[in-house]
Chain A
């Protein structure tokens, strides 16, 4: 990392430094990758509760009588099916069907949608949405107006409940409520990127530090850990959640990425629909599949995948799965070679190491 590069920072940057977090450049943002250790932080989320600063994530607000029409047009999932107070995962797509970004769409009101987007894509997303805005809805770049914290794990509810009068147990998965956390406004969403139960809260940046401290205090009886991007990545990989730039990007469609469920055909036209229909009719040529290492070695992001000695695909994300005590990964393979149980070889430093394709998600929490 170049010392002179000016990285963007979250409102909690000085807190992370004080806590001796190891900071890294993540897509132009200086973010904590770990505080004490990735494994410890990972296990804290699976067994109890962890707290993440995800204030780098961007927010875009769409308002006005035409807001629904615009969201429905730029987003592949059906925003018209959302209730007020409900959220869903979706794709912002190009005409050719590849991803501009993957997003969380929250319906705040009949004429107000709140969209959470990836940090390093937020300007691109904002420009993309504006370009499609023939409906003349009001589109606001709101990344600077919110800090975002993720409280994740089986003890997330008990931790956060101490700080709010909102009855958290009444918020269903992928729903949200505007309430207060420790006396200040907060959008409290039961969403996450870890495969555990938990909440993501959106708050004013100037409140971030005091709320961060209060959540750590509230969770101390459960052994709460501040968690960095390292654990966030191992957790999301076990749960098989996509990461932009890895499983998805401009060259990959939701059908290839095993995200067909975020494409709703039975709604008005949306960007990418025609290309996806064509792809669907012709048959998807490659598919995202999970694998487990059989031989000694770890398949890492970008490694080549061979089937019967022939280069057939690449690893999108790979590494140890601390909960499962295995080495796992996701890769693209030609559809005809993508069935579960197939032996494949991951080229680990020019040596083929055996792996087998497996059903995903790798980890699913007990309900």
Chain B
């Protein structure tokens, strides 16, 4: 269910690092809890992002939820697909519906995030 190569936050974001760039998304658990996603608000390319701070927001039919960045750095790409097809976030949260790519300023932050097995246990315990 939760890819081994990702690291996770307790706020239900994931990051997948290749070289010095981390791809960030929300987890399958998060999309399920949110329900039908109708709008995704993302930062502009070039924005400076701080770990644990709001990166953007995801809106379901009923509610708005902040997305907290799992890593610090500079936004180098955003997923344009989500502007026109926010519902993809319900369908493919760990793949095609990634949110942003961030050039990491503090790569060591990754070590503080949850491995897949721990995240699985965490959401399992949450019920």
Contacts and interface: CB of A to CB of B under 8 A. Distances in A.
B36 interface: yes
A39 B87 CA distance: 11
A96 to B, nearest CB: 33
Contacts of A230: 35, 61-62
Contacts of B55: none
A349 interface: yes
Interface residues of B, number: 12
B35 A37 contact: yes
B38 A298 contact: yes
Nearest to B38: A320
A290 interface: no
B51 interface: no
Contacts of A34: 35
Nearest to B60: A38
B91 to A, nearest CB: 12
A14 B41 CA distance: 37
B14 to A, nearest CB: 23
A353 to B, nearest CB: 10
A191 interface: no
A233 B62 contact: yes
B61 A38 contact: yes
A85 interface: no
A37 B64 contact: no
Interface in A279-323: 296-298, 300, 319-320, 322
Interface in A171-218: none
A77 interface: no
A320 B61 contact: yes
Contacts of B36: 37-40
A234 B39 CA distance: 16
B59 interface: yes
B39 A322 contact: no
